[in-house]
Amino acid sequence: MPDIDLCVLTPHRWLHYGKWRLPERPQDASFGYRAGRVAWPWVGPAQYYLHWYPRLASLLKAFRPDIIDLWEEPWGLVSAQACWLRNRLLPATRIIAETEQNIDKALPPPFESFRRYTLRNANFAVGRNAESIGVLRNKGYDGPASVVPNAVDTGVFRPMERENCRRELGVSGFVAGYVGRLVEEKGLMDMVDALPFCSSDVTLLFVGTGPFQEALQRRATAIGKAGQARFLGSRPLDELARVMNALDVLVLASRTTPSWKEQFGRVIIEAQACGTPVIGSDSGAIPEVIGSGGLVVPERNPMALAQALEEMRSRPEQRQRMGALGRQQVEKQYTWERVAQQMRDIYLACR
């Protein structure tokens, strides 16, 4: 998009699931990119929400943007810092605040004051799901807003020869899979507890690692279903598309908690891009993202999940139809090209 002069600023290091990571460098050397040193990248209970850029003022003075797009929650210190610097250095520059938070909750000091300040200074708001826009409205934001979803690389995640992918993984029968961290809030125990109500032909495939794996294995053994629950560990990104193609259905049975509910579910669109249908719970944004490309069941309900699995297992024509509809949805709404176009339209409207 030659009419957009972009400068992307990322932290020089980041704590991600307990590991310090360095930023990835763009393959295209001409891409406008900087890895800036951040102060307070991790502050105990405050996590990364107090990080800020000591040299952000210098960057803004040199680049002089028309738009500052904050892909940070509005309550982060860095969001308030950017708004404060904008007001003093570039008062004509427009601020876009982005959010994924879809639970309306009061934040402890100083984060609620950061959120109020950021939303008071924002000229446009972007939410990753419809509920997140409602949360912003409840917090006093009354400006223009739009939902812009996550996206998937459809050159990587695409339909492949399914039988070849299944042979590579050594799976047969009806395979229902989960891809992601093995944590309790993803509803993984509901998947295991659904097995006694499913055909013996059903195999659960868990792809990922996490602290909940041992509990899942113990439960599968206790109910006599250890042979129908397989754990493959983590797989690199370039192998996940083949995993998605080996599945008959992807399952995302997330459970809402007082502090979290599913904000998008990126694995949904990764599976759908491969033509694989999805069964998801009604937690947060899952129904919104699944659309016509799968089935939605009540969360924390193993029996309902088992019924959905059996429906998918016994109706291959429905699986094929929903898989095709999911792929169509991805091509229409969830490609990186489509999301980039949405953001470009927002930038030009705000300018």
The string of pLDDT tens digits covering residues 73-128 is 999 999 999 999 999 999 999 999 999 999 999 999 999 999 999 999 999 999 99
Which residues neighbour 176 within 8 Å (Cβ) at sequence distance 6 or greater? 191, 202, 203, 204, 205, 247, 248, 249, 250, 251, 279, 309, 312
CA distance 244 to 157: 8
Amino acid at site 188: L
Nearest to 41 by CA among 15, 18, 66, 67: 15
- Tell how strand 249-252 and strand 278-281 pair up: parallel
181-208 as b/e, with b when 16 or more CB fall inside 10 Å? bbeebbbbbbbbbbbeebeeebbbbbbb
DSSP letter string over 261-293? --S--HHHHHHHHTT--EEEESSTTHHHHHTTS
**SS3 (DSSP) at 175:** strand
**SS3 (DSSP) at 198:** coil
CA distance 304 to 299: 9
| DSSP H or E segment with residue 147 | strand 145-147
Q: What tens digit of pLDDT does each residue of 163-180 get?
A: 999 999 999 999 999 999
User: For residue 2, what pLDDT band results from cuts at 50, 70 and 90?
Assistant: confident
Average pLDDT estimate for 299-304: 98
- Tell how strand 19-21 and strand 14-16 pair up: antiparallel
Is residue 18 scored above 90 in pLDDT?
Answer: no
Nearest to 51 by CA among 41, 61, 64, 59: 41
Is residue 16 scored above 90 in pLDDT?
Answer: no
Average pLDDT estimate for 144-149: 98
List the structure tokens of 317.
Answer: 């024509």
User: In the chain, what's the furthest Cα-to-Cα distance?
Assistant: 66
Q: What percent of the chain has pLDDT over 90?
A: 96
Q: Which superfamily does 162-332 belong to?
A: Glycogen Phosphorylase B; (3.40.50.2000)
Please give the pLDDT value at position 351: 86
User: For residue 43, what pLDDT band results from cuts at 50, 70 and 90?
Assistant: very high
**SS3 (DSSP) at 180:** coil
CA distance 174 to 172: 7
Is residue 238 scored above 90 in pLDDT?
Answer: no
Nearest to 249 by CA among 294, 284, 302: 294
Can you list the alpha helix ranges (DSSP code H) found in the chain?
56-63, 77-89, 111-121, 130-138, 162-169, 188-194, 213-222, 237-246, 266-273, 286-290, 302-314, 316-329, 336-350
Is residue 17 scored above 90 in pLDDT?
Answer: no
Average pLDDT estimate for 246-275: 97
Query: For the chain, what's the residue count?
Result: 351
**Mean predicted lDDT score pLDDT of the chain:** 97
- Domain 8-151+335-350 in CATH 2.40.160.40? The answer is no
Domain ranges of the chain: 8-151+335-350, 162-332
Matching CATH topology for 8-151+335-350 and 162-332?
A: yes
Average pLDDT estimate for 276-283: 98
